[in-house]
Chains A and B, each alone.
Chain A
Amino acid sequence: MAAAPDHLFNLRNNFYLGAYQAAINNSDVPNLSPDDAVERDSLVYRSYIALGSYQLVVHEIDASAPTPLQAVKLLALYLSSPENKESAISSLKEWLADPAIGSNPILRLIAGIVFTHEQDYNEALKHTNAGGTMELHALNVQIFLKMHRSDYAERQLRSMQQIDEDHTLTQLASAWLNLAVGGSKIQEAYLIFQDFSEKYQMTSLILNGKAICCMHMGNFDEAETLLLEALNKDAKDPETLANLVVCCLHLGKSSSRFLSQLKLSHPDHVLVKRASTAEESFDRAVQSVA
């Protein structure tokens, strides 16, 4: 393993753990090699995307930027508005077909992300399955979990562990897997999030992770404290809101405010969709009885 100091470590870590603003603020790292600089820029732009500043990214990346940044721009375009989706996907496919740039890991990563958004997991895996970077592996784990194939996810995780067991993404991926598998694995997931919270700054991602573990272990009081703390950090975060809804239901508290907040800000969130389909089926059932 290379002994040189890893300059981008903090930046990457912040990004992975959802401390996007911190990632942007601390992105001014001196003495970067050209490759590192590109990686730095792509991480910064992706942080902006995560914060919802799609237009900023679209404007700042011009045609002369290297492929990875172009890919990031595509992601911003894709997410910015529903109208752009089609064009973004088509140019993405075009680039992937280009042998000169088709194998660029960031391009493949973006493709994976986009197709995951499209819920076209097969297409996504087509590009990410080959792996190559920790992020690609982590995305694989995520996709497999979405496909409810934890066996494949575990295999992916194992290969990540072989590369670097202590890598943040490896830890994060194993926490996801543990959560998906459930049972006694929850405790391990909790410890991983606990480690993160001791070592890095608290982000709503870490807090939510801990809260989910707590809820799985039936510890709803602690989960609520954690979630409220997360809500303090970001009052509009859909995951926090969704988890709070669940948590409040279990605690016997009213969850309607969080739910309506979620409906307003993120009408297409899974929880909202499922709630509304459930309501519809309930209505149907009522009608059939009436």
Chain B
Amino acid sequence: MLTKFETKSNRVKGLSFHSKRPWILASLHSGVIQLWDYRMGTLIDRFDEHDGPVRGVHFHKSQPLFVSGGDDYKIKVWNYKLHRCLFTLLGHLDYIRTVQFHHEYPWIVSASDDQTIRIWNWQSRTCISVLTGHNHYVMCASFHPKEDLVVSASLDQTVRVWDIGALRKKTVSPADDILRLSQMNTDLFGGVDAVVKYVLEGHDRGVNWAAFHPSLPLIVSGADDRQVKLWRMNDTKAWEVDTLRGHMNNVSCVMFHAKQDIIVSNSEDRSIRVWDVTKRTGVQTFRREHDRFWILASHPEMNLLAAGHDSGMIVFKLERERPAFAVSGDSLFYTKDRFLRFYEFSAQKDTQVMPIRRPGSTSLNQSPRTLSYSPTENAVLICSDVDGGSYELYFIPKDSIGRGDSLPEAKRGPGGSAVFVARNRFAVLEKSNNQVLVKNLKNEIVKKSALPIAADAIFYAGTGNLLCRAEDRVVIFDLQQRLVLGELQTPFVKYVVWSHDMESVALLSKHAIIIASKKLVHQCTLHETIRVKSGAWDDNGVFIYTTLNHIKYCLSNGDSGIIRTLDVPIYVTKVSGNTIFCLDRDGKNRSIVIDATEYIFKLSLLKKRYDHVMSMIRNSQLCGEAVIAYLQQKGFPDVALHFVKDERTRFNLAIESGNIQIAVASATAIDEKDYWYRLGVEALRQGNAGIVEYAYQRTKNFERLSFLYLITGNIEKLSKMMKIAEVKNDVMGQFHNALYLGDVRERVKILENVGHLPLAYITASTHGLQDVAERLAAALGDNVPSLPEGKTASLLMPRAPVMCSGDWPLLRVMKGIFEGGLDNIGRGAADEEDEAADGDWGEELDMVDVDGLQNGDVTAILEDGEVTAENEEEAGWELEDLE
């Protein structure tokens, strides 16, 4: 038994699998219904409206519905998407044991302790039939998967099969007049639309469960007499076929397995038993320590079973579904049923090679676990759990591929695992004394070698070397030197995949992938939340792997991502270009074509093959947030720039990569203060005074603008700034500008105008403006301030900058490797202007203009050399701007 999921809870009385999603419903004795995701192992939802134990629960096949029935006599129909109960069906007069949707009609069948079975129409929300006849509690009732039959089991020691054909006819063609007449009769005189077809008597105690076979006319039942009975029926009668004895207490539930010829039953004796339908013998028994089992459920499509017990439930499968396989160059050898098969990747040709097991010897979980192939000797080693672990060595016949059913003689031996280690040598693990036996192809021991760690499995690791796995580590061991070549701490490794050149190895554990070098030097570890299933290396050294529901990739630096989702688990055998070859659970070879662009792109970036990256950007539709974020994170904002359409992101990337031109264009498009400010900061850093000026103008940051003019020595604009400040009534600004300009007269005027006469006087007299000073002194009267003695004042004038007007020498922006190459793609207009990179200011302004500045006046003032444009117009702008 392979347990996939386990929960701890109150006693589980009802279970139901969802047909598509990895969900299971568990109804508890406490009255709660839990919805679990058994793949992720999470509780998705709980439904708590029943009063008392809920014994029956069932998912609808296609609608987002499920039905439940409890000890409160209520049948509830729920919508799990809306998280609520849609309606309640009332009618039963005692505990409800089971409920089930019909696979086709809008019907529900329910079994109750009131000795009746009822069929309900959940669309009209009415009871359409009451099946009476049992004279004790009805413990279970279910529809036949195809025919118009219902089977029920009761504590009256019988199993009954009911014919509901009349009910179906009535529902399907109610327009028929004659039928309607008869229907009235039946409505008046009680249910003749559901009649007992067979009464199966044979159990000595109450029967707890009865179930149909999915395709054959068989019924299986389990009862308090501790027996499981198998019944067969034909058109006219039904009879007991056999009895399966073994349970030590009441049998709670029993069912046929959908895909194998087996019966699964569980019981209050704390065991689950598996029986062979044809031989009618017990095959396997699984026991729990303390918990009695109450219910079983099987997945409608997958090979999954679930069982509910006293303290929770388990989801499990009986057999491994991974086919054993080995890849060698262009060929794949794998096992399917009892045959060894051969698949040629290039020709996609599948052939049966030879039988490897006697027919009928299929006991559970004895199928081949691993397969190892020696191309030179054309031999395979197949390991399985038969006899507690053993191997079989087969030589593949050269001529008789595909024909013959006779079982070839195999060389056998016991051993935990066996692999070829050289052309004509294989190693067999002897767990008991922790050594490996190296054998030749005659199955003779050539030598023995003790292992350095307590290994429980061995894998191939290059000629003469073994990879030994222990609970918490793996080591590579050289059989000849008896030396450990490498060791790595890992979680429990399940599969080992070597790259083509044997330089790298991927170690797959349940939830992790570890990539290491051939000496087991750790390269990266990836953690998955769900199970890792298989993997293969592609030709570029990218590891492609599958989880339960995804195909993913992993680069050598640990970057990974999803390639696509999967409906069913697959086992990757080989990756060739963008084709993934794989085996599915039915042992069929499939090839899946994937879009490898994303990981090839990342790989090229990683390997610094920028020409490749560039052509990929040009030619393919690579886009999306993920790629942008990736590029940014990996330090390629300039590349990311070429993918982005969103202006804000574009602006951020442009600033990050120092691409002023694009930043200007984006800032113009966004036109928000914060963006202009950031543009100004970056432009200042690069020394692009023109853009800085533009940015300040856009944000109307006059103080900064003035200061910029000051340090760039742009006297003319500075005096214009003064005028603007005057118009704006910004006295402080006006004063600053006057100060910057060294215009004493102006300063005095400003101070005088705002009433700071003493200050004005001091300023005037200090700088020798005698006439003004006298006038002011007169105005001040007695309050003329005294000037400090013995100091000669001098006018502080800013020095003329070396580079007067225009840009400073620009900071060299690191040109991306892609510069130039990418200009012509992506964002048409804006990118084309890149070509004018570092062009003169005028041109760039034009660009800005082109990019859609609405206010023509603004540009007018910005035009270099047009400082003294018509004053009226200027003033017009300023005033307008002030509004």
On A, residues with C-beta under 8 Å from B are: 1, 3-6, 9-10, 164-166, 191, 194-195, 198-199
Contact = CB atoms under 8 A, between A and B. Distances in A.
B440 A9 contact: no
A274 B449 CA distance: 49
Nearest 7 A/B pairs, CB to CB: A9-B481, A199-B463, A3-B450, A5-B483, A5-B482, A6-B481, A165-B446
Given A195-B422, A195-B423, A199-B463, A6 B482 contact: yes
29 contacts: A1-B447, A1-B448, A1-B449, A3-B450, A3-B482, A5-B482, A5-B483, A6-B480, A6-B481, A6-B482, A6-B483, A9-B480, A9-B483, A164-B447, A165-B440, A166-B422, A166-B438, A166-B446, A166-B464, A166-B480, A191-B376, A191-B423, A194-B423, A195-B422, A195-B463, A198-B463, A199-B462, A199-B463, A199-B464
Contacts of A191: 376, 423
Contacts of B440: 165
A164 B447 CA distance: 8
B373 to A, nearest CB: 16
A166 B447 contact: yes
A38 to B, nearest CB: 20
Contacts of B482: 3-6
Interface in B334-382: 376
B752 to A, nearest CB: 93
Contacts of B376: 191
Interface string B244-259: 0000000000000000
Contacts of A3: 449-450, 482
A164 B422 CA distance: 15
Contacts of B50: none
Interface string B678-705: 0000000000000000000000000000
Interface string B458-489: 00001110000000000000001111000000
B424 to A, nearest CB: 8
B461 to A, nearest CB: 12
A11 to B, nearest CB: 11
A6 B447 CA distance: 15
A5 B482 CA distance: 5
Given A5-B481, A9-B483, A165-B447, 14 more contacts: A1-B448, A1-B449, A4-B482, A6-B481, A9-B481, A166-B422, A166-B425, A166-B438, A166-B464, A166-B480, A191-B376, A194-B423, A195-B463, A198-B463
A118 to B, nearest CB: 35
Nearest to B502: A198
Nearest to B424: A191
Contacts of B447: 1, 164-166
A191 B463 CA distance: 13
A166 B422 CA distance: 10
A57 B446 CA distance: 39
A283 to B, nearest CB: 49
A69 to B, nearest CB: 25
Contacts of B449: 1, 3
B481 A10 contact: yes
Contacts of A4: 482
Contacts of A198: 463
Contacts of A10: 481
Nearest to B462: A199
Nearest to B447: A1
B501 to A, nearest CB: 12
Contacts of A1: 447-449
A165 B446 CA distance: 7
Contacts of A166: 422, 425, 438, 446-447, 464, 480
Interface in B422-470: 422-423, 425, 438, 440, 446-450, 462-464
A164 B464 CA distance: 14
A19 to B, nearest CB: 16
A3 B434 CA distance: 12
A199 B464 CA distance: 8
Q: Which of B423, B463, B480 has most A Cβ within 10 Å?
A: B480
Nearest to A165: B446
A155 B483 CA distance: 32
B269 to A, nearest CB: 49
A55 to B, nearest CB: 33
Nearest to A195: B423
Contacts of B438: 166
Q: Which of A3, A10, A164, A166 has most B Cβ within 10 Å?
A: A166
A198 B425 CA distance: 15
A249 B446 CA distance: 43
Contacts of B480: 6, 9, 166
A5 B475 CA distance: 15
A30 to B, nearest CB: 13
Interface in B383-425: 422-423, 425
B423 to A, nearest CB: 6
A198 B463 CA distance: 8
A65 to B, nearest CB: 28
Contacts of B423: 191, 194-195
Interface string B515-544: 000000000000000000000000000000
Contacts of A165: 440, 446-447
A10 B450 CA distance: 20
A198 B464 CA distance: 11
A164 B445 CA distance: 12
Contacts of A194: 423
Nearest to B448: A1
Contacts of B483: 5-6, 9
Interface in B50-90: none
A198 B446 CA distance: 21
B558 to A, nearest CB: 30
A164 B448 CA distance: 11
Contacts of A195: 422-423, 463
Contacts of A199: 462-464
A194 B463 CA distance: 11
A165 B376 CA distance: 18
A263 B438 CA distance: 47
Contacts of B448: 1
B569 to A, nearest CB: 34
A199 B462 CA distance: 8
A5 B480 CA distance: 9
A1 B480 CA distance: 11
A191 B376 CA distance: 9
A3 B376 CA distance: 30
A166 B449 CA distance: 13
Contacts of B450: 3
Nearest to B483: A5
Contacts of B463: 195, 198-199
A1 B436 CA distance: 13
A199 B465 CA distance: 10
Nearest to B452: A5
B199 to A, nearest CB: 72
A27 to B, nearest CB: 16
Contacts of A9: 480-481, 483
Nearest to B421: A166
Contacts of B446: 165-166
Contacts of A6: 480-483
A6 B425 CA distance: 20
Nearest to B376: A191
Nearest to A168: B480
A166 B482 CA distance: 13
Nearest to B463: A199
A29 to B, nearest CB: 11
Nearest to B438: A166
